[in-house]
Structure formats: structure tokens, C-alpha cells
Amino acid sequence: MKILTLNFLTCARKLCKSSNTAFPLHPQDAELEIVEQDMNVEFLRNILPRLMWEELSGVVGELGLPALPPTVPTLESLTEKKLKAAENDPTGMNVVEVEVPSQVALDLHRLLLETCVKEGKLVCGSCGHEYQVREGIANFLLPGHLV
């Protein structure tokens, strides 16, 4: 499960619906893995305004990952302009300006889309329910009496 998903997932129990501690769930005994994905700046641009940055920082801390900057990066900071040799130019003299993902975007991509919880559990801060994660799949099936 991607760290991105942890920024949206809540406890599934009805009694936690209106609680403000049922999000984010807290990873425990988590084993992380990196699963490489193609860089997609457009997706980052779409999702960035929807992130809850403080909660993301909290989870990153709980997982023992390097701390995030205190505020959410701006959309502008996701790309930067770079000079590149023009295509089909045998002289190599001509350069064009291209937009490429910035280091900020590469770091966000690494954290949100490539860093995954492989094993462990996710614990609700409100009811204490533990959702097991096995091979990256979280079990959100609730026994009837907990629905």
C-alpha cells in the first residue's frame, strides 16, 4: 500500500465516522518496500492540493522516514526549466528549453507512489481497531459486530 493511500484511508467502523482521530490510521510494525513507478508530474499536480500535509508528515515520522518540509510544496515547484540540445540538430549548437520534474517532484513521487507498506498493521486512533497488511494488501473486512 502506497504512502499516498494512507493519506486518504480512514477507519471503516461506523462509530468512527465522526471521530477526528480515525484519520490517519497509524502504521505499526511496518515493513516498507520500494516499488518503482513511472514519474507522473501531472498526477502529482492533481493530487497535491488534496493532500493533508500535517497528517502526511505525522505518518512519515511514525514510519521513521526523513522529515518532510513544514509546508506543502507549491504546484510551481514541481517542475523546472532546463536547457537541452535540440533534436535533429547535427551541429549540437542549438538548445531548447524544456520543463522537467524538479527534485521536489522526484522526492514526492518517491515517497507517495513508490514507498509502500508491505507488512504490518494500521491502527485506528479512535477505536483501536487493527487492520492487518499482508503482501501490501490491507484487510478491511469487518466482523459483523464491528460494522
Partner 1 sequence: MSRPEDTLPPDLFYNDTESRKYTTSSRIQKIQSDMTHRALDLLSLTHSSLILDVGCGSGLSGEILSASDAQGTPAGPHVWVGFDISASMLGVALEKEVDGDLFLADAGQGVPFRPGTFDAAISISAIQWLCNAESSEESASGRLSRFFNGLYASLRRGGRAVLQFYPKNDTQKTMISSAAIRAGFGAGLLEDDPGTKNAKTYLVLTVGGGELDGDITGVVRGMEGVDVMDERRRAKERRRGKEEKGSKAWIVRKKEQMERKGKVVKANSKYTGRKRRIAF
- Residues binding partner 1 (CB under 8 A): 1-2, 4-5, 8-12, 14, 23, 37-38, 40, 42-43, 46-47, 50, 52, 113, 135-142, 144, 147
Rg (CA), the chain: 19
If binding is defined by CB under 5 A, does position 12 make contact with Zn ion? no
Task: Work out which of 126, 131, 133, 138 binds Zn ion, going by CB under 5 A.
Answer: 126
Give CA 38 to chain center in angstroms.
14
State the Cα–Cα distance between residues 94 and 114, nearest whole angstrom.
Answer: 36
Nearest Cα neighbor of 129 from 9, 31, 22 is 22
If binding is defined by CB under 5 A, does position 124 make contact with Zn ion? yes
Closest CB 19 distance from partner 1, rounded Å: 12
Helix (H, G, I), strand (E, B) or coil at 3: helix
If binding is defined by CB under 5 A, does position 123 make contact with Zn ion? no
State the Cα–Cα distance between residues 64 and 58, nearest whole angstrom.
Answer: 10
Letters for 18-37 (x = contact with Zn ion by CB under 5 A, - = none) are ----x---------------
Task: Work out which of 11, 44, 59, 108 binds Zn ion, going by CB under 5 A.
Answer: 11
Scanning 3-11, 25-33, 57-65, 72-80 for contacts with Zn ion by CB under 5 A, the matching segment is 3-11
Nearest Cα neighbor of 131 from 144, 117, 121 is 121
State the Cα–Cα distance between residues 14 and 77, nearest whole angstrom.
Answer: 39
If binding is defined by CB under 5 A, does position 138 make contact with Zn ion? no
